[in-house]
A and B are shown apart, each in its own frame.
Chain A
């Protein structure tokens, strides 16, 4: 019999970034007893890194904005692969969620007349991002955290869930270990909300921290939930590339929103060279107009630097491949040039982009008010994830909910900047509400002892693989997996390379089950890395199989062997699930039929 500590809650929320915190707050205000489990300390989740802002059609800066425009922008940005109902709910509810943050103490930048200020961002027609300089994510997570701790939540910091426990079809709990002592915990719950974020650690160059190993996706997949849109991995166009130790760290799109331009090694603004047809009408065709847009001229169209992230990332890659890149294999992002336009540009940059100023000065010895930054694409965000009901966020497993980055549907083939923070709030709130409701209507289930024993045995296996020469360490396998995914299933994909990737994944999986850890169970990152490997391998396989299935290029998926869009694929999402025999099944799921009045909205906004 495994030794463990038992806990019981109506709703268990796994993950304490924006979505998890918002879900926990909502469930506890519905009088559910809530447990909140997080891998790190409270307030350290990746939400803290979000820079640009929260997209919400508050219309504080441009009165022409409203939910319909936000909805149409989100659908266009997602190449219409989004679940229309999620995009609709998101656009309608985001303003309320932002105002609520203010009521909980968030202090956003202000307009001259004292309202919440909004800034321009890629793919958003009007200035829409409520923000706090370039540290909006910190403001958001701290506000939720500080509000949440007075709500009676039970927070389990530095706990990792390794298995969901089911009784028949029904979800009844979760199995976890704590980092501090390495002891086991069993959570009995009537409903579980997954809010575990992304999968960035499957790639070598990423803006994500060690936590983002796709745990939630794998927990759900193993419990029978479907994953959707896994081929759509967002490579953010601007990550740091030099020095090597900072490679991948995010450079906010806000730099471009404030007038920053992308230049190749000839000093040319290459983004004007390729403007996609469906964005031509709303994109500036000269530098002057682009500048006026960033300065709030309502009659100007946005500069091509603010096209969607998938497109900008590919344009950067093209410049590098054709020999026009910067010395370290990226391009230049220049905000310092605005001194030609603004009298006190240096102060302006420091005020608008304080974290970027600080980050480049301290980590790269570059003063961004004086010199251009070197940037290149970095793995940033998983558009796909657990397939959920758009209203309740419940997966196909009764009682299992998902919100935020680990859920699929809102963003389609490409996410707009700023839509992730609003996603966390809108769907975190919904998941919390419906999970609490589900919990109320459901009796507590029975957890079978053999399930617990099985989970405990699997967690301890890496210690038991005796002989010193027997297994290798987990770090080595993780690094090889990251390099392989970066090379074979990265921004540009081909069938040949992805078939090779599947073969390599198979080999890595064989090696992963041989991994051996040293030391004891107390705070042992070697052990944690070993346990995370199975999640990383599973999500890597899901990305690869989904990307193979979509034989076209759309949004974040670029297939060199199928460089164009294909209408047949424009009508389906790719869905994977675990088959009875344990293999990964892939199928095409027709897109849900959009409500007529929303089709109308899209037609009007074209």
Chain B
């Protein structure tokens, strides 16, 4: 059986350094397997978040060889194991310890976005009728596992640290899922323009490229939202027209 070396960041908010750990690797292993193996063998207090180990919960985000990925979906067979594999925490958030970052800002941001507000039920039994073709777009958005990798690569957050003026791709997607929900009647366009900072996104599509769920964040969510915001702000007729036609599309 062969071995591989993992160069893992150890440290906290005050500072830290990379440390090399060599461990055995087997067929089919992912980076998370190696990290957990190292934790059990030689670094019992190595901090890392994980849960489902199947790309479904979005807990184990990290930068692997400089690329933001889920550790549980990063196959060792896709990496060059002749060189040490670098594993470090996400960069858009403050470091807590080792691979763990402070992502609490994301949870605060979500709370600021006005919640789902459905139209009155369509049927006397309190249920709605929604055509199968009307759910596809929003279902795509709702696949999001909140791994925050899109936030991690967004230069507005990662490089410019505008966390107080911009909600980031994850929450633009979240707002798009609400705005385009076939039942929703709330209007979030003005706050998107102002408090939520949609104008700061200049559609470089970095978020779309790293999304493990392969959601077309920029094309399907952010650009249509931007169009709505612009129409809403500069063209009251379009606003009226959309109100009149209902909210779908």
Contacts and interface: CB of A to CB of B under 8 A. Distances in A.
B53 interface: yes
B161 interface: no
B139 A132 contact: yes
A235 to B, nearest CB: 18
A109 B130 CA distance: 9
B216 interface: no
Contacts, number: 174
Interface in B20-44: 26-30, 33, 39-40, 44
Given A114-B129, A363-B28, A249 B59 contact: no
Contacts of A513: none
A524 B50 contact: no
Given A107-B142, A527-B45, A99 B54 contact: no
A139 interface: yes
Interface residues of B, number: 60
Interface residues of A, number: 68
A44 B28 contact: no
Given A44-B57, A524-B47, A103 B131 contact: no
A26 B30 CA distance: 40
A500 interface: no
A244 B27 contact: yes
Contact of B55 (A43, A46, A210, A362): A362
16 contacts: A41-B59, A41-B107, A48-B56, A99-B126, A105-B178, A109-B132, A110-B131, A113-B129, A133-B139, A135-B56, A180-B96, A210-B50, A245-B30, A250-B54, A523-B97, A524-B44
A519 B44 contact: yes
Given A150-B115, A243-B26, A525-B44, A209 B52 contact: yes
Given A135-B143, A524-B44, 5 more contacts: A99-B127, A109-B135, A112-B132, A523-B47, A524-B45
A40 B129 CA distance: 36
A250 B55 CA distance: 12
B56 to A, nearest CB: 6
Contacts of A155: 107
A518 B54 contact: no
A107 B181 contact: yes
Contacts of B97: 180, 522-523
B110 to A, nearest CB: 7
B203 to A, nearest CB: 26
A476 to B, nearest CB: 8
Interface string A462-488: 000000000001111001000000000
Contacts of A505: none
Interface string A97-122: 00100111101011111111000000
A524 B135 CA distance: 43
A359 B59 contact: no
B206 interface: no
Nearest to B103: A41
Nearest to B138: A107
Contacts of A107: 130, 135, 138-139, 142, 181-182
B232 interface: no
Contact of A147 (B47, B53, B115): B115
A146 B30 contact: no
Given A41-B59, A135-B143, A518 B45 contact: yes
Contacts of B179: none
Given A40-B59, A246-B28, A110 B40 contact: no
Max count, chain B CB within 10 A of own CB: residue among A250, A517, A523:
A523
Interface in B70-113: 73, 75, 96-98, 100, 103-104, 107, 110-111
B118 interface: yes
B128 interface: yes
Max count, chain A CB within 10 A of own CB: residue among B53, B96, B126, B145:
B53
A243 B56 contact: no
Interface of A: 40-46, 48-49, 99, 102-105, 107, 109-116, 132-133, 135, 138-139, 142, 146-147, 149-150, 155, 157, 180, 209-211, 242-246, 249-250, 355, 358-359, 362-364, 473-476, 479, 517-520, 522-527, 529
A527 B121 CA distance: 51
Nearest to A242: B28
Given A114-B130, A135-B143, A523-B96, A209 B116 contact: no
B87 to A, nearest CB: 15
A243 B77 CA distance: 12
B181 A475 contact: no
Contact of A49 (B45, B49, B54, B73): B54
Contacts of B100: 523
Nearest to B60: A44
Given A114-B131, A243-B28, A209 B110 contact: no
Contact of B129 (A115, A519, A524, A529): A115
Contacts of B248: none
A105 B181 contact: yes
B68 interface: no
B172 to A, nearest CB: 15
Nearest to B47: A523
